[in-house]
Structure 1
Amino acid sequence: MDQATTQHAAPASAAAGRNRDIFLRISNHLARVTQIQSALAAVAKEVAQVLPFTHFDICLLDGPDWTVSYEVGIQTRWSRKRARLENSPVRSILCGDLDYMICTNAMEDPRQTFAGATSEPIFNHNLRSRVHVSMNVMGQRVGTLNISHSDQNRFDHDTLALAQPLADLLAPYFHALRAIEKARQDAQARTELQSREEGLRRGASSLTLALEQERQRIGMDLHDQTLADLTRLMRILTDETHPLDRSYLAEAMATSIRDLRQIIEEAMPAQLDLFGLSHALSAHLQKVAQTRAPRACDLRTSLVDNVDFEMDEMLPKDVRTAIYRIGQEAVNNAVNHAGASSIVITLDTDRAGDLVMCVRDDGIGFDTHGRTRRSGLAHMETRARLVRGHLDITSEHGTCVTFRLPLSAQEAPQ
């Protein structure tokens, strides 16, 4: 071997040795981490020594039609949420059509900027030079390793000669870490689902008990009030020693009918079926103002309906009943426990298209220590969960009970 050949071989040998050292350090880093993001950060520091970059990320397949990305340095939309495979700038590699891709200027490369491509980060951060290589595990394509730089013509086939062995080294590690991450997420999702189901079970049990107590209350009202009145009237009618006072009997019967009608209305809101949800809530407000306020003239009530669709046609009966009962409980709490002088119910839709009911009063606020109100809150929360809604209560300058119903989760009424 002549002197020139020896001099040329020496730098190449030194570079190969340096690359081996970097790969060894990468392996040591990966052996000590269990999180994808921390593993990528450790790898990126080593890669930057031989391949300076503006952006470094990996893109992994997440099922047949989706991808998930992890990145360091610049944070872009690529790592914020899952993306459709068909929209990925590296779909040609992920689908197996190519093993690698080198872009001298990705901003002008149709492989990266096709219609529908999630290529905004390329333009937002001037990621002109890009090199992508496949990541494979046991002969199966699992993702891509992606290196980008803001300068044009930064990468070539010499870059590829380093990037592909790096991807081969990283692939099994990141594939395993992703499997661990998904298993952890699935376990967490199962735990949350079990917790929600247990909460719903307890809530439903509490609501069932409340319904049983309500039936008992109705029975006692009928026994102590209506039945007692009718028994008294029967005695008058069958007492032959005294003449009948028809005017007295008519007034007593009218009172019994009115009391019975009120008991029935409490048990089954006829207004809801006859005239609809908005009218039923408005009627309940008027009834509360007339019969429950200590000084009816001091209680101001109103209902504002800004909903731009037919709630009674779109929402199933059980959902409308749940909304009515939540509103009814919130209004009763405002009158019976908060000493409110003003109650306003607002029906509206938010930007997401969800139905929102807000019951706002100017009372003393919400006392979480009150047993009756606490029980009422539990029943409202259970009713909300049973129809896939969400209840929120704030207590500042009065109380605001907000019920939010995602309409996308509702089925059309039968």
Structure 2
Amino acid sequence: MRQGANKTGEAPDQNPLVSLLRISRHLAGQVEIRAALRSVKTEIENLLPIDHLDVCLVDDKVAWNTSYEVGFKTRWSLSRTPVAISPVRSILLGEADFMLTGNAMEDPRYTFEGALAQPIIKHKMRSRVNVAMKVLGRTVGALNCSSCTPNLYDEETVTRVRQIADVLAPYFYSLRANDKAKRAAIVRAEAQAREEGLRQGALELTRVLEQERQRIGMDLHDQTLADLTRIMRDLEKAEGSQDRVRVIGSIQDCIQDLRGIIDTAVPTLLDMFGFAHALRIHLERAVENVETTTLQVVDETNGLIDRQDSTTRISLFRIAQEAINNAARHAQADRISVSISSQENQMTLKIADNGLGVSKTRPGRKGPKITGGIAHMRTRARLIAADFSMSGKGGTQIIVTLPIVKETFDQDAATSPSGGVA
């Protein structure tokens, strides 16, 4: 192929201005950089022979560049790369306005140590001409034309590529700025959505906590206070040892009930024995018939939950409590298991049973109470940035997954109980 001929062997356009005007028309209405580059490839081929065409644009700090290419599909466009290892770093850093070579495969400017030059070698890009793309005097990227034929380009080619770069630069810079603005808008919208979700979650949790306080107050009034009043009257009437024994038994029952209310309000077992053992105790208390129910709590993480912050631990404990209560009291399950596992940078809490599922409840139970409990579990999961999922096929399975926070071995963590199989 003779110098200046296009890929078909025909002479390039004798009036470059016409091709440049056509390039501008092709760019009009384009809203995506790759599509814009594809739209002008044929017109650029009318000006000079190319086997590969790419544009690389730098970020505002000139630390990273992003490539867009037509022709060969190479590593350059798979992800953004550091400017320092780009074969055209001299242009991107503003050290040169252009680069010209007859064989880039052997040119140390392109294949220096550490350079991302694999596409040049793999696709045999010998002849290359690279020109700075400038906007208001500042280099924003480089236009790169390559051919497999050696020694194909000359100074006249550099002039033509510079004319093309001058036309493309403002369009591509605007498209890049528009793309950045779109991404920034998406990030802002996602942040606002997360913030609103947390706000709604906090409001929901506040409402739930107020309901819990009212429930505890009613339990204390209806149960403990009534029991104490009855015991006081029994004491006034007590005459013999049998009466005193009966009164002492009533006091012990009252104390046990009061401990149950306290354990519900403040998970002291969690602090005393650790997450896995506390759940095992709660399982045994929640199940009506321990002998006929298979219960299992397995911690495969060696107590990782107990080394998390207290908010995370308590939230996970409350989620597990609610799931266990639903399985034991409503779903008629005779097998309930809890497992804690971790993989890479996340931890998973799974509660599974073989009961009726959430869509079916024991006669006499109200469905809204169960669905309300599910909503509370979702809220607690959202407030600790955890993913919550539930499936009801062949029983119920609840999975909570959250990122693992870097462990801090402060005094509280150092004294917290370790996990294991409870």
CA distance in 2, matches of 1:375, 1:385: 15
CA distance in 1, matches of 2:359, 2:255: 37
CA distance in 2, matches of 1:374, 1:310: 30
Alignment RMSD: 3.1
The answer to whether structure 1 residue 272 and structure 2 residue 270 are counterparts is yes
TM-score (norm 2): 0.82
SS in 1 for 2:338: strand
Amino acid at match of 1:46: E
Which residue of structure 2 aligns with residue 213 of structure 1? 211
CA distance in 2, matches of 1:78, 1:42: 20
Deviations 1:387-410 (A, max 9, x none): 222223334333332222222588
Change (3 A) 1:63 1:305: farther
CA distance in 1, matches of 2:368, 2:182: 39
Matches within 5 A, 1:6-405: 15=12, 17-64=14-61, 65-102=63-100, 104-106=102-104, 109-114=107-112, 116-122=114-120, 127=125, 129-149=127-147, 153=151, 155-239=153-237, 245-288=243-286, 292-293=287-288, 295-307=289-301, 310-313=304-307, 315-351=308-344, 353-367=345-359, 370-405=367-402
Instruction: Determine which structure has greater relative contact order: mean sequence separation of CA pairs < 8 Å that are 6+ residues apart, divided by chain length.
Output: 2
Deviations 1:295-354 (A, max 9, x none): 4334322122222574433x2111111222222222223334443332222222223x21
1:152 Cα offset (Å)? 5.2
Question: Contact 2:12 / 2:48 at 8 angstroms: preserved in 1?
Answer: no
1:16 Cα offset (Å)? 5.2
SS in 1 for 2:35: helix
Amino acid at match of 1:132: N
CA distance in 1, matches of 2:112, 2:302: 39
1:261 Cα offset (Å)? 0.8
Structure 1: give runs of 5+ residues left out of the alignment: 1-13
Report which stretch shifted further, 149-158 or 397-406. 149-158
Q: Percent identity?
A: 44
Aligned residues: 395
CA distance in 2, matches of 1:396, 1:131: 63
CA distance in 2, matches of 1:268, 1:241: 39
Change (3 A) 1:362 1:25: farther
Question: Contact 1:237 / 1:244 at 8 angstroms: preserved in 2?
Answer: no
SS in 2 for 1:97: coil
TM-score (norm 1): 0.83
Change (3 A) 1:120 1:362: farther
1:220 Cα offset (Å)? 0.7
The structure carrying a bigger helix percent of its residues is 1
